[in-house]
Structure 1
Amino acid sequence: MTPLTGATSPRNDALRAARLRVGWRTMEQAAVALTAHGQALLDDMHFSVSPRTWRRWEGRERDRGWPLEETAQVLHDALSRWPEELGFAPPSGWIRPEAHHGEDMWRTFASVTAAALMPGPVATQHVDPALIDYFQQQLEGHYRADMFLGPHDLIGTVSAQYQLIDKLVRSAKGETRRGLLRAGAAYAALVGWLYQDAGDLGAAAFWRGVTQEIAVRSRDSHLIGYSLVNQAQVRTDLGDGHGVIDLCEAALTDADLLVPKVRIMALQQQAHGASLTGDRDAVDRLIDTADGLLPRVDDDLPWGNACRRTPGYLEVQRATCYGRLGLGVEADRLWTQVLAAVPATARRDRGVYLARHATAAAVSRDPDHAVEIAREAVVIALETRSVRMLRELGTLERVMRPWHDAPVGRDLAEVLGPVNEGS
């Protein structure tokens, strides 16, 4: 399901997400950048896209029109997407050009990696150690903003800061360099998470790999364990339970040397792997072990603090695992407890939890309750455009199929209509 232009949101989210991914923060900036890109690509100084045109493209579907052929080519070259992938309705007879398929694949890869891989040497500069604290403080702000904004509005900002850290690392020395490497690993992990939440698992896996490389270079055993858990998160979304377990067991090889926070993250993620392989006993054992470590979390590391920030953190994981195992009654009960403690500021997390709670209610054979819960989740999904949330709503839709022709099934279709539009 992809939220394109629902009744309550006429905005072209597909085009908006694509421009934010390449760092064009406003529609005016996008028009200027696309004009410059087109003039260079076509060798035509007369090529131009006005801010008014771009605003029309991001507006109502009936007003967007279809870009001219050369404009479609420029959009694709700049954003690695053809117009029909950017919220435009193709005209009759439109055939997508495929002559440069190999180049297209490279551009797609380059659009993901541009902020991570800075080629060649950079000019040497003095790097003040105080910059480490600066980036750590900024990181905490990004974590907070993520709860409010969702992934698309932050990917460009955070990846650009990672690129700056990478540049500084090349000039820094000694402990300053190691401190910046540790900060860089945390930033790369956050970019990976943002891509994962945005539904781009390829980009997420790439950035998780960057996280692991930087963590190893920092020689910080806690960060290395954290990076392996990050890799396991992607494996969880891919449904690879055994892969999740392998990575988490590797992270816990020298568990006694790790801060409790990293051990908790590895244990709870391993529980997700166990749920994917159908092992309920392992789920409970792993989460109970992690719960025993929670009182010992006292580090001042700026990353991986969900277990401190998130109310009922481990019960959230248990409820999610129970839902995956088909234990609807148990999951329904846990979600009711968890949601009662979720603060208003954690709006996107609340949306994900609500969608999972609705699915648990449906599994428990209470479809009316499922639809009631889904109403609030859909409102949040439209606000945040979290693909993770949309996937959870897609799961709800599948679980509710037995009631498809019943009044409650039609009610659900109406509730999900705005997020299903264009899917």
Structure 2
Amino acid sequence: MMRNPIHTNVNRVLSYYGMNLKKGRSNYYLSYYSQGETSVIKNNNPRDAIREAINRQGDRELYIQLINQLRFLKLNPKKQLYFSEIFILDPRYTTRPSPPLGTLKDAYDFACEMRWNSRNIKDHKATKRKAENVIKHFGYSTPPSDITPRRLVDYVGYLQAKNLSNATINRNLSKLRVVLRHAVMLDYIPHVPDFPWQKYSNARTRILSKEEEEKVISFFHKKGNTLMADFVMVAIDTGARVGELMRLTWSDYRLDSESIFIRNSKNDEFRTVPLTKRSRHVFKRRYQNMCSPEENIFNLTQDRLSWQWKVMKKSLGFDKEKEFVPHMMRHTCATRLAELDVNDSKRMLWIGHKTPVMTARYTHMTSTSLKSVVEIIDSQA
């Protein structure tokens, strides 16, 4: 005789008591955990199987609680075995056991151990420090269960009061979400709450003009900072992401083909980028001081780059421009390739995008490049 199928809410309730019910062809199979072992009971009546499991465990309190609940175990219109809505909506019958005690600091430490480490992130110290600042706001000893959607909205308001951009707010929320996801892994909370992500546009319109590029490079040369001057030139010529260049080692430099091999890209794909005449000169000069193939070509961290860029930005009078950031060097490269009429497929390979849509987002034609269009229109007049 076929048994009735089991609705998902049955095992959702039974799991509170360490039990799981499965349907066989002619019997039900109830597994339960007791005294360090898992046992299975076979019975053609699910209520009898549950009663037998309770009797075997000898837990009188559990026996009374579950036996009283079995009267709600019925068949729904689809002939599925389920606990009726009256039972599900009654908090007296759906009290979950208390979750293990744990704090945000415990979850943060676990996230540092599992994700924010030197194996996964080169500049892991900066990431951990920024995440710790977020945790500090809520309190190290705060239980993860106290991080509710309401508190997250209040936190966003706190960050907005500090005049932080929506992108920066989302980065702070992202770090907190990673911590809470690890809290779920530790069984501190059943799930991660909904986050109030802020809307913002990824598209940047700011690029470096030739004159501004010369000013930036000249500034670093005058300060004796050859490392940053070289970094800026290579970033503009190759269009590589800042993180990709910082992760480059001498084993990624192809001296014979005069190119670099980018292996740790954002979209987890590899690509080879040929070097321009200026970049070839930079690499050959720096290659003479190489100590090891595993040595980073540009010995920079995100913090050091940000600080050097901030000093330059203020000194040259760009401190009021929010979009004057290191990533603009990548936009500059993409735009110059477009102005040179390099086709979409080649630009995608050079920049490292999967779709032409992404390449188009990073390309901003200047008014100078449109002069040829004016000439075409004038010729038709």
TM bucket, shorter chain: under 0.3
- Return the structure number with greater relative CO, CA threshold 8 A, min gap 6: 1
Q: Higher helix fraction: Structure 1 or Structure 2? A: 1
Q: Higher strand fraction: Structure 1 or Structure 2? A: 2
If you compute each CA radius of gyration, which structure gives the higher value, 1 or 2?
A: 2
